[in-house]
Amino acid sequence: MTEPADFLLAVEGLTVSFDGFKAVDDLSFYVDANEIRVIIGPNGAGKTTVLDLICGRTRASAGSVRFRGRELTQLKEHQIVQAGVGRKFQTPSIYEDLTVFENLEISFPRGRSVFGALAFRRDAPVRERVREVASLIFLEPLLGERAEALSHGQKQWLEIGMLLIQDPALLMLDEPVAGMSVSERRKTAELLRRVLRDRAVLVIEHDMGFVEDIAHRVTVLHQGRVLSEGSMQHVKSDPKVVEVYLGH
Amino acid sequence: MTESRVLPRKDLIAVLIFAALILLVLPLALEPFRLNLVGKYLTYGFVGLGLVLCWGDAGILSLGQGIFFGLGGYCMAMFLKLEASTPEATKIQSTPGIPDFMDWNQLTALPWFWRPFHSLAFTIAAVPLVPALLAFVIGLAMFKRRVGGTYFAIITQAIAAILTILIIGQQGYTGGVNGITDLRTLLGWDIRTDHAKLVLYFVSGGLLIACLLAAQLVRRSKLGRILVAMREREDRVRFSGYDVANFKIFVFCVAAALAGIGGAMFTLQVGFMSPSFVGIVPSIELVIFAAVGGRTSLLGALYGTLLVNWAKTTFSEDLPQLWLFAMGALFIAVVVAFPNGLAGLVQDSLAPVLARLRPQRAELRPTAPTVVDAAEQGGVR
Ligand SMILES: Nc1ncnc2c1ncn2[C@@H]1O[C@H](COP(=O)(O)OP(=O)(O)OP(=O)(O)O)[C@@H](O)[C@H]1O
Ligand SMILES: [Mg+2]
């Protein structure tokens, strides 16, 4: 029996209600270091809300989120990021008015205080790291472009790159391949496989092929609760899951 | 590489042109009375610089910059008033040695908060710091609670209104609706002569250029890019690990300090300060000056301030009643049709010309810039 502190992320009894409606209801799950966990479930199951709760965007009504033994529910968003949690949003969330280079540079984890940002120098380590990440996300030739000019898929990659440059211990991705073309999907799967090593990842995804491809374990959410949890094989053959989700 | 250069050449040339205009061309071309007017307009330019950082870049619209302009102006006026209120000069008062309006209001001693303004050093420090301190308190109360957008703009308006009422109501301490008038000398130097006004014009212009350069450095730093990022996607900035509220407080304080410096230079050049520069209407006017010139361009805001004020003076000499309507129409036109103001228009018409010039320049440079070079120059706006 392992103590919760041994897990990278321990979510216990997490609950949030919006005007009496419990979007997440007494939810518990545990994520190991280096584990790739995929959360699936029907629309409105509360998947995005779970990520919002972990990263501090939404405040929990009850329950706890412990990350590396540290309670996150009382921290502010930027403190949670600095503790090592990175979050990608469901719709691409990048700075359209800035260049690809600047988008990545802002995410570089240095000079995050007001005066640190004033004194920040674009030195060799920054340039190298930006270039390195840019080549990972297929955007090196576009470093000087304004992010506005990127395609939808490229914007998704850029946001993933902005997370990678933070080098978080836990990476949370909300539907990373949604809205992508087939070839973009393939490239993204390849990208994720390469970068998902050495860190824990929490992915929300509807694309079953993609899920089967990357997941170590799968958690199925339904009405804010865990419906089933285990390997992809296990959840796929769980009759409850087939009924509410996969059967459609 | 741009890395070694503090400001890119293009920006530097633009600053030099502006400096030549206000420090060379205008002083040579204008008679003293007109030049003094321009000097007055330039003090609004300080506010414009702050608005570009705060509103144009960070997206925080303050409709209360008159508060900070006024506070800076009052700090300077208090010093000058104390210097003008020597016991000899005020010996006919029932309490000699205090400002005349205090005596008229039956005050018998100098209020405690006036005392430090005997010192010029304290006053010079207070001119940017008092406005910045108030901005810090407002910012802390608002931004930490994530009040923003329209609510914030309305609250700054309310504070401007409250401050005006306070100043007018507390006549004995502030000079009331007339303000602090009859200012004469600065450390014994008469500021009312034509020569003094000329000197003050150059001091004010030089300070403005210095503040312009400082603002450009802020914009070119990573902080400048974070401000723009915040305007677009506040949440993303938060989830990149930044405490957004602190950045907003900082830029609001900088804008307040700049406005305060402008106010102090105004007092020096015009010779008085009154609540009519603090309230709602002047605060909105200050925003219009910046908006017409271009809220995302520092120089644009400065040219805009000069142009609108020149137009205002010209108009209101002939058709004073129509000016308010003209101003309103101008503001709506700018916001609806040209959100980036005159600077945006100039940029749009210059961009094609520059594009045509570019091939010739490329021939002069044997090595074409690499992609990353181009990216690193991206901070220029
Ligand atoms: N801030 C909020 N206020 C009120 N209700 C909310 C809020 N956020 C989410 N909800 C509700 O909570 C439920 C769960 O939403 P959530 O976005 O987490 O679902 P999801 O599983 O991510 O769905 P999808 O697959 O469509 O992205 C929905 O019914 C949604 O309407
Ligand atoms: Mg969702």
Measured CA to CA, the distance from residue B161 to residue B278 in angstroms comes to 8
CA nearest neighbour of B174 among B97, B277, B275, B257: B275
Q: Which residue has the tokens 């144009």?
A: B56
Measured CA to CA, the distance from residue A52 to residue A58 in angstroms comes to 5
Q: How far is B215 from chain A (nearest CA, A)?
A: 12
Inter-chain CB proximity A93 and B372 less than 8 Å: no
Q: B378: which chain A residues are within 8 Å (Cβ-Cβ)?
A: 98-99, 101-102, 144
Q: Which residue has the tokens 């996969």?
A: A246
B91 Cβ under 8 Å from any chain A Cβ: no
CA nearest neighbour of A178 among A58, A47, A72: A47
Tell me, in angstroms, the distance from the centre of ligand 2 to residue A80's CA.
Answer: 20
φ, ψ for residue A70, nearest 5 deg: -110, 135
CA dihedral B276, B280, B283, B284 (to 10 degrees): -130
Q: Give the start-to-end residue ranges of the domains of chain A.
A: 4-95+168-246
Structural tokens at position A124 = 């060799």
pLDDT tens-digit map of B162-189: 999 999 999 999 999 999 999 999 998 9
Measured CA to CA, the distance from residue B88 to residue B82 in angstroms comes to 12
Instruction: Take atom 8 of ligand 1 and give the residue whose Cα is closest.
Output: A49
In this predicted structure, what is the pLDDT of residue B350?
Answer: 77
Q: A111: which chain B residues are within 8 Å (Cβ-Cβ)?
A: 222
Instruction: Take atom 1 of ligand 1 and give the residue whose Cα is closest.
Output: A18
In this predicted structure, what is the pLDDT of residue B359?
Answer: 55
Would you say domain A4-95+168-246 falls under CATH 3.20.20.220? no
Global pTM reads 0.90
Q: Kindly give the parts of chain A with pLDDT less than 70.
A: 1-5, 247-248
Q: Kindly give the parts of chain B with pLDDT less than 70.
A: 1-5, 357-381
Measured CA to CA, the distance from residue A116 to residue B250 in angstroms comes to 13
In this predicted structure, what is the pLDDT of residue B2?
Answer: 40
- Residue B112 contacts residue B127 (beta carbons within 8 Å): no
Q: A114: which chain B residues are within 8 Å (Cβ-Cβ)?
A: 223, 246-247, 250
**Cα nearest neighbour of A83 on chain B:** B241
Q: B243: which chain A residues are within 8 Å (Cβ-Cβ)?
A: 76, 78, 112-113
Measured CA to CA, the distance from residue A246 to residue A130 in angstroms comes to 40
Judge if the beta carbon of residue A48 lies within 6 A of ligand 1.
yes
CA nearest neighbour of B277 among B37, B64, B51: B64
In this predicted structure, what is the pLDDT of residue B381?
Answer: 39
ipTM value for the complex: 0.89
Judge if the beta carbon of residue A224 lies within 6 A of ligand 1.
no
Rg (chain B; Cα; Å): 22
Structural tokens at position A84 = 């090592």
Q: Find residues 181-210 of chain A whose CB sits inside 8 Å of chain B.
A: none
In this predicted structure, what is the pLDDT of residue B5?
Answer: 62
